[in-house]
Amino acid sequence: MRLTIDSQASEIEQTRVFANWLLDLGEGKVGSVNDGESIIDIPDDLLIIDSTDPTSTLIEFVNPSILVNIKNSSYFQERAILAPKHEVIQEINERLLSLFPGDEKEYLSSYSLRESEQQLHDQFDRTLYSPHV
């Protein structure tokens, strides 16, 4: 539904057809009888054809001009790559992140807070740091 906002009638219809195909695929209604393996006909407009590097081609298709839009948060909110396995998404994420300039930064988190001796003597309000907020 979000994809139909501010769209023309032809784009809405195209989105509806794709959404129905995707739902049918998820429900096992696309392809032959599914006994664990099935051959699925994928529409030509969804296929990556004639590419020596399909992952890069997919990233470029979904995120054209990514470096131009690197600081535009709405650009990324309107795009997603879906994959059936975590390993595929991991590869796509690694490729995508390698496109960004700058050094890698790692942010750590914690599920609990440990008080130090300094904190015991100060007015320490544990509710300010609750992970259950």
Q: How many CA atoms lie within 13 A of 113 on its CB side?
A: 12
Same domain (yes/no): 94, 63: yes
Which residues span the domain enclosing 77? Answer: 48-101
The model's pTM: 0.57
7 and 34 inside one domain: yes
Provide the total of helices (H) and of strands (E) in the chain, helices listed first.
Answer: 5, 0
**Do 37 and 53 lie in a common domain?**
no
One domain, residues 74 and 56:
yes
Residues 93 and 53 in one domain: yes
What mean pLDDT is predicted for residues 7-28? Answer: 81
Residue 120 lies in a domain: no
For 69, which DSSP code?
T
Please indicate, yes or no, whether residues 58 and 26 belong to a single structural domain of this protein.
no
106 in a structural domain: no
Per residue in 106-125, pLDDT tens?
A: 888 777 666 665 555 556 66
